[in-house]
Amino acid sequence: VPVGILMWRHPLQEWKGKGTTAHFYEILLGRCYTYTQIVRPELGHKDCQKIGKAFTTAFLSKDPCSSTEQDYQPLLELTAQTVPCNKTLFWSKSSQLAHDYTRVQGDLFTLEDTLLGYMADGLKWCGDPRSSEMNYQSCPDWREDCSNNSFSVFWNAVSKRFAEDACGVVHVVLNGSISNTFDERSTFGRVEVFNLRPEKVHQLQAWVMHDVGGVHSDSCSSSSVNNLKRILKERSIAFSCQNNYGPIRLLQCVKNPEPSSCRFYV
Ligand code: C8R
């Protein structure tokens, strides 16, 4: 190749975290069509091309450490979606289990069962202020680079909207096999709990799940869960808690039927 034809490209900034997911844009668009045509056709028409563009416009050509929730507002507006009252399911440190459950209990929605959460789940993305392209080499790491990075700010913004929209009795799956079952620094503890609207959310019901075969403990009465109870009381939202909620326990036992705590079921 003659040297003159090679284009000079600005070197992209180097970060500590993994770069944008390969084929990011194609995955976004594919998931948008899959969701709107196949998973939830009842949602009605959504313009996936426009949604895809709004997503990338939110972060391309920008400093990935100065991302703002406003950057994602146009995207949020294009993906508005109503979740019926009593059907919202939050989770914290229990992603797999909560999603396993909504898969069989199809009328419950986690954020990933809504269009925007479905599109973004598991992906990584960032841009660069000196280039109009995505940075596939590296993206900021939350700890080592910056907390206001393009995907953390996104999850904060969509989690906030998801909680603001919730109504009736809402549910959360918590992990009873870790010490801070309710973690005030998690998205659930930091964003969602504080954005529930007391005038329309009557109750939060927590399901605290323990790993099967682990030691038995009563996490509903643990100090971290009591902290959640206190916060909700201050916000005038009723709270109830159940250890090892049966239907979700059953799913855990399907995956891991050996332990004696599963003998009852299998
Ligand atoms: N929510 C937050 N983060 C999400 C997410 C989501 O729906 N989906 C993904 N993939 N992520 P955690 P948490 C990514 O500590 O902090 C909403 C983000 O990179 O186990 O309490 C959802 O509505 C994020 O950093 O849970 C849910 O109710 C981790 O996964 C809470 O917030 C979150 O991992 C869960 O957030």
The pLDDT, as a whole number, for residue 7 is 74
The pLDDT, as a whole number, for residue 60 is 98
Enter the ipTM: 0.91
Q: Per-residue pLDDT tens for 149-186?
A: 999 999 999 999 999 999 999 999 999 999 999 999 99
Q: State pTM to two decimals.
A: 0.94
- Rounded to 10 deg, the angle between the 246-255 and 95-104 helix axes is 100
**Which residue CA neighbors atom 9 of ligand 1 most closely?**
121
Dist. CA 98–CA 41, nearest whole Å? 23
Q: Per-residue pLDDT tens for 12-71?
A: 999 999 999 999 999 999 999 999 999 999 999 999 999 999 999 999 999 999 999 999
**Which residue CA neighbors atom 31 of ligand 1 most closely?**
188
Element (H, E) at 43: none
Residue 167 is a catalytic residue: yes
Which atom of ligand 1 is nearest the CA belonging to 89?
28
pLDDT bin (cut points 50, 70, 90) of residue 4 is low
The pLDDT of residue 137 is above 60:
yes
Residue 84 gets which letter from DSSP? P
Pocket of ligand 1 (CB under 6 A): 90-93, 95, 111-112, 117, 121-122, 155, 159, 162, 186-188, 192
The Å distance, Cα 185 to ligand 1 centre, comes to 11
SS3 for 131? strand
The Å distance, Cα 264 to ligand 1 centre, comes to 32
